[in-house]
Chain A
Amino acid sequence: MPKEYPIINIFTSQLPKELAVRMYNEFQDRMKTVMWQVQNVERYKFLNDHIKLVEDILALSIFHRRVVASLDGALTFFRTVTQMSGATGISIGKYEFTAEEKNKLLSLTISYRQLLKKFLITQDMFEFQDTREFMRILLRLKQLWENAETNE
């Protein structure tokens, strides 16, 4: 059986060190709070059976804020520049941000949003500051799915 790596390691492998370290540290810090809440707060104890899921959603949220949001910003700027002028791309130092590169980023962001949508997760779910807020969002997510399944 292949070795299973923590999800945050998969997200951060091959990222530039500075970015990877920030993402990794944020994940570890928030997971400490999550685990404390799961062990000590009655309404979150059900998450004991879903730690892997919590890790996945937390890692996705960090990826969203630290990577996807910036890529969205680059795409918006690309759109402004190309719509306002006949520019074919953006030169950033030696890097050429061309229509082809733009399409790669667009493909990434579309696939990412499809992934979220499949599990009924919306981006605003990731707009939390405090980890306890993240816990409340998980709770609501659980209740929402329970309601949906009850109505099936």
Chain B
Amino acid sequence: MPKPMNENNGDKAAGKSFRSPFKDAAVMDNEIISFINKYKATVTEHGKRMSDYFEMSCFNLIVKYYVNSGYEVQIANLKQGKFRYKCSPAGIQSNFSHFEASITYGAMTYYFEIHHNLPVQSSHDETIVATPDISVIKKGAVKYRNDYYDTKKTLSYVENPNMLTFCEVKHFAPFPELIFNFMGVVNELRGEILDNSEENLWPKHIAPSLMISGKSTKPTDNIKASLEGRYVINILFDLFYSGRSAFWKSGVSSLQTAGWLDLPDDWMVNIPEGIDDDPF
């Protein structure tokens, strides 16, 4: 259970600058109302962008992951001195800003880009795309085509082999179907994960991740443990609070990285001899 308040401040509780909400409930009520009235216009203005802000917060965590994993990260493609944030899959990618990450091993430097709302070609069918909230791709790999929609509208996308990893962001309380839906996206964009045939990536990248704002419950914790045990993915809860620690320098190693899952030697079922024989 979280601590309700900083008990170290208990001695100060009787001080004049602190008020007991139990004795001064009316004072507290008035102060809350004054606060709301003072900032009503600000809250109203920003209230319609709460989901965007949570996505931004997760975008920031992924950038932090790469910084804390030893990458050099910088911003690319500012527009008129501002970071132009892509709010939806529509729009030409080159009109928006993104992050660039690079890492050097010996004489080799590897370059990647971290994008928001970039459509990614399916791993099963190159004629279709899905758009994860965040994707990490090889540098300069964004492509454009005009034959995807009914009209001549341009689709910006990345070919599947050029996408290293991706993250889905959900501003919800977690529930089973939300998590299982993510497995559908994993199947479409990185089908190899489901049969554990994905190649290990070098340099390392965060494994495909589902980032959820809400706190988990016992059932969703069990689903997380089960899916993460079977597939190279991360399911992260409570990203406004405790979940953020996975992206701290001391926490990044707790996240799975893209590649094959190191399953125990006996993970495959032993098939008795003769079972493959044609029964007819």
Contact B240 A69 (CB under 8 A): yes
Residues in A neighbouring B32, C-beta threshold 8 A: 7, 10, 56, 59-60, 115
Residues in A neighbouring B24, C-beta threshold 8 A: 119
Contact A148 B75 (CB under 8 A): no
Residues in B neighbouring A70, C-beta threshold 8 A: 50-51, 53-54, 57, 171
- Count how many chain B residues have C-beta atoms less than 8 Å from C-beta atoms of the other chain: 70
Interface string of B72-101 (1 = CB under 8 A from A): 011100110111110100000000000000
Tell me, in angstroms, the Cα distance from A73 to B49 when the chains sit together.
11
Give the interface SS of chain A, mostly helix, strand, loop or mixed: helix
Tell me, in angstroms, the Cα distance from A96 to B49 when the chains sit together.
12
Closest A residue by C-beta to B76: A85
**Measured between C-beta atoms, what is the minimum distance from A96 to chain B in Å?**
7
Q: List 16 A-B contacts (CB under 8 A).
A: A7-B29, A10-B33, A19-B50, A50-B22, A70-B51, A77-B59, A91-B79, A108-B39, A118-B17, A120-B12, A122-B5, A124-B3, A133-B1, A141-B22, A144-B13, A148-B12
Which residues of chain A have a CB within 8 Å of any CB of chain B?
7, 10-11, 13-16, 19, 50, 52-53, 56-57, 59-60, 65-67, 69-74, 76-77, 80-81, 84-93, 95-96, 104-105, 107-108, 111-112, 115, 117-122, 124-125, 127-129, 133, 136-138, 140-142, 144-145, 147-149, 151-152
Q: Which 5 A-B pairs have the closest CB atoms?
A: A73-B57, A148-B13, A152-B14, A77-B56, A74-B53
